[in-house]
């Protein structure tokens, strides 16, 4: 077993014989400009040393097209270090790997002699941030992008609308943010992104080789739409379940035309039989498509308990076709699988690792239709669950707390019978923000469990190091790097954290 603190574990690692590369204040680097900049920053943060550049530098970073997308190889020995990416993303990931290898040995910094050849298992490796329950500004998002990209995650799914707020300003529908964005859960301040903010987020993500996958959730989770356009929504449906959540968590009973600041779900619905609803859908997704260079638009579809099932099916079918008509690939939460959707619509699975029959049927329908799934089993991949009964933050509805071990101990193809890697677009770790209000809260919930999702999405299922025993020791070895990067991780007692 390798003791190198590499997460996600690479496809192949050979510990070469021979001495380490000694990194000191005179070490220089050369090659691809963006990669040199990324490595320079990482090294400064970790060691305090700022490497210079020189044409004959011993550390060489370059792109050589040829290998699989996002792949790279890294060779380190006493004489030098070479990282070759098959593309810019692969080279960037090689630099992240090098950042994990740099360590303090005695009184100097070094990189152990090693040969790594690496490529991802799944094309889509995502994190989701819910900016609707609580709003997070552009700087917090940039920090989250940096954190995710350092673990080779390549998709940032932004949950941009929910009952509590609409968070993206749209020129076609300006009332959405004017009236629907000023509050959040717990009466906390709301907020929204301007078109310029969104452009900045998308560009920053791209510079870290991440796409932005924006979501407007519908037909449920739309109370905030009603604050702006009351004619588009039904009155709140106050089911037993909604009233129980109100009892347990407070926040009051949802009421038309009043901002909702509680945590209940499944009471709101767009009007399904009104053509004005589809004009709205065309406007908001049309504008979103123009602002989003990435291939996916997510239209939600979860927990529409306030919508009649037949209406729900008609609605999601039509919305998927509107989005496909915009030249984008629709993504929907797995419930939408009950309907006939536009060809290629991706399903995002969020039931437990062992699905209820209904969820298995809805998710399986995407595969039977020849489409793919993104897997986010809530009892393992959800970053907003408590770690244990004493956690300061988080929820427990997904079968109780989610320990770090539970976040790690699952295999994507085992979620549904007969599922193969080809049926799976990838893996995503969502962070819903009912209980988090600050960047520090996001760090505490995400780290270290985000590393589990990253490894499940990246590393080969068969890698000998794809075990909890290996993972916990490798994550522990990342403590010093995470601390140097200012990541306020939860120092879970499940992990043997090292301090240098």
Handedness of CA 484, 454, 32, 4 (dihedral sign): positive
Q: Which of 287, 303, 444, 455 is catalytic?
A: 303
| Nearest CB to ligand TNX, comparing residues 146 and 351 | 351
Binding track, positions 330-369, relative to ligand TNX; x by CB under 6 A: ---x----------------x-------------------
Quote the least distance from Cβ 221 to ligand TNX, whole Å. Answer: 6
Quote the least distance from Cβ 306 to ligand TNX, whole Å. Answer: 13
- Bridge partners for 148 per DSSP: none
215 is an interface residue for ligand TNX by CB under 6 A: no
Nearest in space to 336 (alpha carbons), one of 378, 304, 297, 381 = 304
| Nearest CB to ligand TNX, comparing residues 31 and 377 | 377
| Nearest CB to ligand TNX, comparing residues 89 and 218 | 218
| Nearest CB to ligand TNX, comparing residues 197 and 399 | 399
299 is an interface residue for ligand TNX by CB under 6 A: no
Handedness of CA 408, 409, 411, 416 (dihedral sign): negative
Contact predicate 7/454, CB 8 Å: yes
Joined tokens for residue 403: 């320990």
Q: Residue 369: CB partners within 8 Å, gap ≥ 6?
A: 341, 343, 345
Query: Is 303 annotated as catalytic?
Result: yes
260 is an interface residue for ligand TNX by CB under 6 A: no
135 is an interface residue for ligand TNX by CB under 6 A: no
Order of strands across the sheet that contains 108-111:
21-23, 108-111, 103-105
Please give the Cα distance from 255 to 257 (Å, whole number). 6
Q: Which stretch binds ligand TNX (CB under 6 A): 15-23, 90-98, 182-190, 377-385?
A: 377-385
Q: Quote the distance between the C-alpha of residue 388 and its chain's center.
A: 22
Total residue count of the chain as it appears in this document: 500
Q: Give the residue carrying structure tokens 């009912």.
A: 434
SS3 state of residue 283: helix
Joined tokens for residue 196: 């310029």
Judged by CB under 6 A, the residue of 35, 265, 338, 463 near ligand TNX is 265
Q: Quote the distance between the C-alpha of residue 276 and its chain's center.
A: 33
SS3 state of residue 116: strand
| Nearest CB to ligand TNX, comparing residues 120 and 347 | 347
Q: Which stretch binds ligand TNX (CB under 6 A): 97-105, 288-296, 376-384, 460-468?
A: 376-384
57 is an interface residue for ligand TNX by CB under 6 A: no
303 is an interface residue for ligand TNX by CB under 6 A: yes
Q: In angstroms, what is the C-alpha Rg of the chain?
A: 23
Judged by CB under 6 A, the residue of 118, 384, 428, 465 near ligand TNX is 384
Judged by CB under 6 A, the residue of 216, 432, 447, 497 near ligand TNX is 432
- Residues in binding contact with ligand TNX, number by CB under 6 A: 11
| Nearest CB to ligand TNX, comparing residues 71 and 452 | 452
Binding site for ligand TNX (CB under 6 A): 265, 302-303, 333, 350, 378, 382, 384, 395, 432, 434
Residues carrying an active site annotation: 303
């Amino acid at each position: 077993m390798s003791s190198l603190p590499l997460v996600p574990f690479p496809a192949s690692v050979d510990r070469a014989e021979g001495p380490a590369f000694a990194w000191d204040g005179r070490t220089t680097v050369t090659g691809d400009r963006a990669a040199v900049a990324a490595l320079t920053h990482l090294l400064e943060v970790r060691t305090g040393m700022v490497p210079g550049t020189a044409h004959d530098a011993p550390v060489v970073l370059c792109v050589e097209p040829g290998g699989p997308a996002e792949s790279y190889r890294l060779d380190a020995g006493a004489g030098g270090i070479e990282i070759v990416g098959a593309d810019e993303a692969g080279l960037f990931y090689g630099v992240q790997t090098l950042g994990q290898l740099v360590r303090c040995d005695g009184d100097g910094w070094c990189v152990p002699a090693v040969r790594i050849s690496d490529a991802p298992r799944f094309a889509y490796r995502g994190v989701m941030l819910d900016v609707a329950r609580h709003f997070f500004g552009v700087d917090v998002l940039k920090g989250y992008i940096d954190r995710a990209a350092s673990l080779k995650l390549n998709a940032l799914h932004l949950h941009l609308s929910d009952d509590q707020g609409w968070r993206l300003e749209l020129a076609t529908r300006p009332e959405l943010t004017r009236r629907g964005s000023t509050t959040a859960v717990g009466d906390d301040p709301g907020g929204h992104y301007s078109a310029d903010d969104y452009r900045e987020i998308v560009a920053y993500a791209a510079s870290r080789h991440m796409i932005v996958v924006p979501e407007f959730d519908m037909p449920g989770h739309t109370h905030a739409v009603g604050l702006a356009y009351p004619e588009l929504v039904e009155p709140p449906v106050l089911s037993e379940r909604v009233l129980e959540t109100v009892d347990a968590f407070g926040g009051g009973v949802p009421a038309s035309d009043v901002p909702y600041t509680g945590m209940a779900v499944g009471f709101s619905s767009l009007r399904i039989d009104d053509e004005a609803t589809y004009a709205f859908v065309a406007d908001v997704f049309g504008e979103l498509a123009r602002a989003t260079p990435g291939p996916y638009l997510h239209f939600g579809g979860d927990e529409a308990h306030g919508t009649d099932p037949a209406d729900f099916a008609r609605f999601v079918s039509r919305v998927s076709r509107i989005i496909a008509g915009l030249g984008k690939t629709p993504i929907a939460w797995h419930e939408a699988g009950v309907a006939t959707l536009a060809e290629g619509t991706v399903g995002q699975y969020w039931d437990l690792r062992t699905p209820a029959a209904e969820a298995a049927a809805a998710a399986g329908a995407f595969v039977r239709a020849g489409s793919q799934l993104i897997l986010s089993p809530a009892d393992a991949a959800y970053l907003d669950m408590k770690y244990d009964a004493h956690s300061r933050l988080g929820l427990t509805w997904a079968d109780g707390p989610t320990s770090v071990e539970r976040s790690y101990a699952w295999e994507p193809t085992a979620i549904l019978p007969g599922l193969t890697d080809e049926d799976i677009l990838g893996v995503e770790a969502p962070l819903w923000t009912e209980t988090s209000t600050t960047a520090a809260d996001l760090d505490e919930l995400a780290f270290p469990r985000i590393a589990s999702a990253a490894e499940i999405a990246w590393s080969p299922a068969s890698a000998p190091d794809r075990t909890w025993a290996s993972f916990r020791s490798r994550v522990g070895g990342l403590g010093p790097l995470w601390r140097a990067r200012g990541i306020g991780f939860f120092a879970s007692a499940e992990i043997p954290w090292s301090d240098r």
